[in-house]
Chain A
Amino acid sequence: MNPVNYLYLAALLFTIGAAGVLIRRNAIVIFMCVELMLNACNLAFVTFSRLHGNLDGQIIAFFTMVVAAAEVVVGLAIIVTIFRSRHSASVDDAGLLKL
Chain B
Amino acid sequence: MSHAASVHSLWTMSAAAPQKIPAPHIEYAQLSPTLIVLGAAVLGILVEAFLPRRVRYHAQLLLSCIALAAAFAAVVALAAGGYATGKAHAAAMGAVAVDGPALFLQGTILLVSLVAVFTFAERRLDPAAHGRPVDSFAAQGAAVPGGKAEQAAVKAGFTTTEVFPLVLFAVGGMLVFPAADDLLTLFVALEVFSLPLYVLCALARRKRLLSQESAVKYFLLGAFSSAFLLFGVALLYGYAGTVTYSGIADVVNGSVRMLDPALAATTGNDALLLIGGALVLMGLLFKVGAVPFHMWTPDVYQGAPTPVTGFMAAATKVAGFGALLRLLYVVLPGLRWDWRPVMWGVAIITMLVGAIVAVTQTDVKRLLAYSSIAHAGFILAGVIATTPDGVSSVLFYLGAYSFVTLGAFSVVTLVRDAGGEATHLSKWAGLGRRSPLVAATFAVFLLAFAGIPLTSGFAGKFAVFKAAAQGGAGALVVVGVVSSAIAAFFYIRVIVLMFFSEPKAEGPTVAVPSPLTSTAIAIGVAVTLVLGVAPQYFLDLAGQAGVFVR
Contacts and interface: CB of A to CB of B under 8 A. Distances in A.
B431 to A, nearest CB: 24
Interface in B191-230: 191, 195, 198-199, 202, 208-210, 212-217, 219-220, 223-224, 227-228, 230
A45 to B, nearest CB: 5
A42 to B, nearest CB: 8
Contacts of B303: 97
Contacts of B220: 21, 27, 30-31, 34, 75, 91
Nearest to B203: A81
Given A21-B224, A67-B188, A81-B212, A45 B219 contact: no
B129 to A, nearest CB: 20
**10 closest cross-chain pairs (CB), A and B:** A37-B227, A44-B234, A48-B238, A97-B299, A52-B241, A41-B230, A34-B223, A94-B213, A82-B212, A74-B195
Contacts of B231: 14, 37, 40-41, 44
Given A74-B199, A85-B144, A97 B237 contact: no
A45 B243 CA distance: 11
Interface of B: 141-142, 144-145, 184, 187-188, 191, 195, 198-199, 202, 208-210, 212-217, 219-220, 223-224, 227-228, 230-231, 233-235, 237-238, 241-243, 263, 265-267, 298-299, 302-303, 360-361, 366
A31 B223 contact: yes
Nearest to A21: B224
Contacts of A70: 191, 195
B233 to A, nearest CB: 8
A77 B199 contact: yes
A84 B243 contact: no
Contacts, number: 136
B219 A78 contact: yes
A51 B243 CA distance: 15
Contacts of B217: 94, 97
B504 to A, nearest CB: 24
Given A45-B237, A51-B267, A74-B198, 16 more contacts: A4-B265, A54-B242, A57-B234, A57-B237, A63-B188, A64-B187, A70-B195, A74-B195, A78-B198, A81-B212, A82-B212, A86-B209, A91-B216, A96-B209, A97-B214, A99-B360
Interface of A: 4, 7, 10, 14, 17-18, 21, 27, 30-31, 34, 37-38, 40-41, 44-45, 47-48, 51-52, 54, 56-57, 59-60, 63-64, 67, 70-71, 74-75, 77-79, 81-82, 84-86, 91, 94, 96-97, 99
Given A27-B216, A60-B184, A67-B187, A97 B210 contact: yes
A10 B527 CA distance: 49
27 contacts: A4-B265, A7-B238, A14-B227, A31-B220, A34-B224, A34-B227, A37-B224, A37-B227, A38-B227, A45-B237, A48-B266, A57-B234, A57-B237, A59-B184, A64-B187, A71-B223, A74-B199, A75-B198, A75-B219, A78-B199, A79-B219, A81-B215, A82-B216, A85-B144, A91-B216, A99-B361, A99-B366
